[in-house]
Structure 1
Amino acid sequence: MIEIVRLAAGDERLIRAGAHLLRNAFGGSPGGGTNDDRDARYRRSVDTAAVFAAVDGRDLLGVTSIVPYEQWFAGRALPMGGISAVAVAAHARRRGVARSLLMRAIEQMHSDGQPVSALYPSIPPAYRSFGWEVAGVLAQIDLPAARLTAAGASGPAGAGHTTDVALRALDRAEPAEDDLAAVHGLYTAAVRTAVGPLTRTGPAFTLAKLAELDGVVIASVDGVDAGYVSWSREDFPDAAPRLAVHDLIADRPDVRDALLTCAGSWQTSIGNTRIRVGDPVIGGLGLPRGAYTRHEPWMLRIVDAPAAVAGRGFGPLAADVDLEIVDPQAPWNEGRWQLSVGDGKGSLTPGGTGAVTVSARGLAAVFTGYAGAAALTSAGLADGDPAALARLAAAFAGPAPWMLDDF
């Protein structure tokens, strides 16, 4: 018999077994370390996340975690449950272990007031069967480090350019609180109007951890902070080292170019870079021929439809759509609803004619603006009056959804 239990700090046997299961499923965690180190990291996750184990007596069958995050949705932060560390033991597969864990996770997120949930899927069909759908991407670009220094020539000095960009490094030994706050403020200013980026607040984020990165450099113009870049050096046993650029945040081209040149100066010892990009920085990179862009999809699930709509920001368009939501795993979402959007806000109230029938997956894909009316129809995620479908897609339309963090 499968039982789902929530792990607590004292559940040492299950914590060690869970850490071992995750090592089997995903290999060594970033940063490597001994088994004891990895056990300790998993043990700490019990304090900051809702960690669940599927057991049959003393036998551990599977695990999953819900990490409390917030995502920006067009200027408003929405609580989000990040599903991570999902693994089922080899001997327990085809017994419904993942189904039991995910159903418990949906119920827990609903109870905890997390109206949306996101994850990075290893097996998308498994999550689709529980209402998650691809709703955004994390974009990364692989290119030579020398190309970063060449970015300084992206435009002539003149309008929007200045030679007075000052750079300072975050003190890794004793990071100044003002510098930590500056980095987070610059990140927030760049992403808050987007759809999908994490707010980087809450128990999963500690600003002091920025000092654990190999480099964080802040740029300022005339004494005003205007951007930053952060990176880590990645070494591999059988391959050349790589510079992983985590963030490149800049509000003007000359600041961006100065930060790219700074990161690219490692070209004498590190030949390749992998840079995470989002809307604020992807334009104007001047990618060379042969650069490789990789889009890693993330999936979203609407856990509480009325709360998700009420907590999201919207554009200037006004729209009203009658929906019939089909969501057997979250029955509180099912039924007929009236969607009303106007003045940058939205609401979902019971009632209406059900002019558009939309599945949980369809609602997730349209909620971020990732899927339009044609995509919803062709994928079989929504059906109904074409004009109402067009209004539904238009109500959520906006910038392409993206994240800079994985989990």
Structure 2
Amino acid sequence: MTEIVRLTPDDEALTTAGAHLLRNAFGGPDRADKYRESTARDVVFAAVDGRDLLGVTSIRPYGQWFAGRELPMGGISAVAVAAHARRRGVARGLLTRAIEQMHGDGQPVSTLYPSIPPAYRSFGWEVAGQLAVIELPAALLATAGAAGPAGVKPTADVALRALDRAQPSDADLAAVHALYTAAARGAVGPLTRTGPLFAPAKLAEPDGVVIASVEGTDAGYVSWSREEIPDAAPRLEVHDLIADRQDVRDALLAAAGSWHTSIRTTRVRLADPVIGGIGLPRGRFTWHEPWMLRLVDVAGAVAGRGFGPLGGDVDLEITDPQAPWNDGRWTLSVAAGRGTLTPGGTGAVKLGPRGLAAVFTGYAGAAALRSANLADGDEASLARLAALFAGPAPWMLDDF
């Protein structure tokens, strides 16, 4: 008989088996020690039949920015089902328990990177944002800003300094986090990078971190790691490129691209996907890794989210089989950048958790919701609902 239990560091046999299951599912080293550490920090569930491990999943404690406000978020990670336990409802049991746990823990939203999107859609997650990456020749980065458009200050006005990886100063660590927060706070989707998974010292883990300043004021930074690839040339992975001025961005790109004598290819994660179209050189290609969102507590999620200047009311009828506390008719009211969801109304727009997820980040408009059969009802009300949540393209720089 299948039972869902919470793993603890003391259960050495099951944590070792869990680490091995994750290696089978996703590759990489068999790190029982790291997995045991995660059971102390994260909520880790295992599906077991006696002492036979059937599957595992983890909920990581994150925070996520939504238009100037932070929402506690449960990051679903490392969902794996053993080969001999497939088609027995193991994943269903794990995800059902995870939704209940996040609701009890006060995490109104949940995000994950899907390996099998249909499996998560059946539990209410839907694509709601992207992690965008552009691939560029390192030599092209090295020349960034050399021949910029008229009116753009030359990169010579930008001063660069390296963060000391061995002994990073508290001031530099704080500067990097403040620059990231300034870029992420007003956006929709990026992690807050606070809490137990983001100790300040982690900011110094990449192979290189360079901070840019203009007239003594920090204005941006870039971080990268050299990736050694078997049977292929090494690649430079740019984790963060944070700057709101083109001259600063060019100076940081040139610093990362200076490794072009030994590295040919660079992959840059985009803090805002739009930058890939208007602020960076044309690359070989750009791809987007989708992330999925679920509203665990719709009223809490709406109350904790920021909104734009547009206000108004929309009546909703929500059906959520896995989270029945979300079921029913609600009135969404938005005014002065805040939203509330109160019971009642006419149910003019009918939708489930997938439609809520796609519209909540502004990822999908009214036409997309209709074409995907994620919403139904009064057309004017649906258009108003999409307009209330509309904003910048939802993005994230961190995967998990």
Distance 1:119 1:183 in 2: 25
Residue 161 of structure 1 and its aligned partner are, at CA, apart by: 4.6
8 A contact 2:8–2:36 mirrored in 1: no
Equivalent residue runs for 1:8-407 within 5 Å: 8-28=8-28, 35=30, 38-153=31-146, 155-156=148-149, 158-161=151-154, 163-279=156-272, 281-282=275-276, 284-288=278-282, 291-407=284-400
Task: State which drifts further: 247-256 or 299-308.
Answer: 247-256
Residue 278 of structure 1 and its aligned partner are, at CA, apart by: 2.4
Amino acid at match of 2:118: P
Q: What residue ranges of structure 2 are gaps of 5+ in the alignment?
A: none
Amino acid at match of 1:215: G
Distance 1:225 1:296 in 2: 30
Task: Among all aligned residue pairs of Structure 1 and Structure 2, give the percentage whose two residues are the same amino acid.
Answer: 76
CA deviations 1:242-299 (Å, max 9, x no partner) are 00000000121111111000000000001101110022843543433x6110100000
Amino acid at match of 2:252: L
8 A contact 1:317–1:342 mirrored in 2: yes
Residue 164 of structure 1 and its aligned partner are, at CA, apart by: 2.2
Kindly report structure 1 stretches of 4+ aligned residues shifted beyond 3 Å: 156-162, 280-286
Residue 150 of structure 1 and its aligned partner are, at CA, apart by: 2.0
Residue 191 of structure 1 and its aligned partner are, at CA, apart by: 1.1
Q: Secondary structure at the match of 1:274?
A: strand
Q: Secondary structure at the match of 2:233?
A: strand
CA deviations 1:81-130 (Å, max 9, x no partner) are 00000000000000000000000000000000000000000000000000
Task: State which drifts further: 76-85 or 39-48.
Answer: 39-48
8 A contact 1:15–1:39 mirrored in 2: yes
Residue 319 of structure 1 and its aligned partner are, at CA, apart by: 1.4
CA deviations 1:12-59 (Å, max 9, x no partner) are 11110000000000000xxx5xx3xx1111111112210110000010
8 A contact 1:151–1:285 mirrored in 2: no
8 A contact 1:213–1:232 mirrored in 2: yes
Distance 2:70 2:134 in 1: 27
CA deviations 1:331-386 (Å, max 9, x no partner) are 00000000001100000000001011011100000000001111111111110000
TM-score normalised according to structure 2 size = 0.97
Distance 2:97 2:154 in 1: 53
Residue 147 of structure 1 and its aligned partner are, at CA, apart by: 1.1
Q: Secondary structure at the match of 1:398?
A: coil
CA deviations 1:214-239 (Å, max 9, x no partner) are 00011111111111000000001111
Distance 1:195 1:138 in 2: 12
8 A contact 1:369–1:401 mirrored in 2: yes
8 A contact 1:248–1:281 mirrored in 2: no
Distance 1:96 1:281 in 2: 42
Distance 2:280 2:64 in 1: 29
Query: CA, structure 1 residues 14+316, in 2 after alignment: closer, same or farther (shift >3 Å)?
Result: same
8 A contact 2:246–2:279 mirrored in 1: no
Amino acid at match of 1:396: F
Amino acid at match of 2:269: R
CA deviations 1:162-207 (Å, max 9, x no partner) are 6221111111111101100000000000111000000000111112
Amino acid at match of 1:391: R
TM-score normalised according to structure 1 size = 0.96
Task: State which drifts further: 155-164 or 290-299.
Answer: 155-164
Q: Secondary structure at the match of 1:60?
A: strand
Q: Secondary structure at the match of 1:402?
A: coil
Distance 1:119 1:212 in 2: 24
Q: Secondary structure at the match of 1:238?
A: coil
Amino acid at match of 1:209: K
* Number of residue pairs aligned between Structure 1 and Structure 2: 399
Task: State which drifts further: 143-152 or 228-237.
Answer: 143-152
Query: CA, structure 1 residues 198+286, in 2 after alignment: closer, same or farther (shift >3 Å)?
Result: closer
Amino acid at match of 1:75: G
8 A contact 2:4–2:47 mirrored in 1: yes
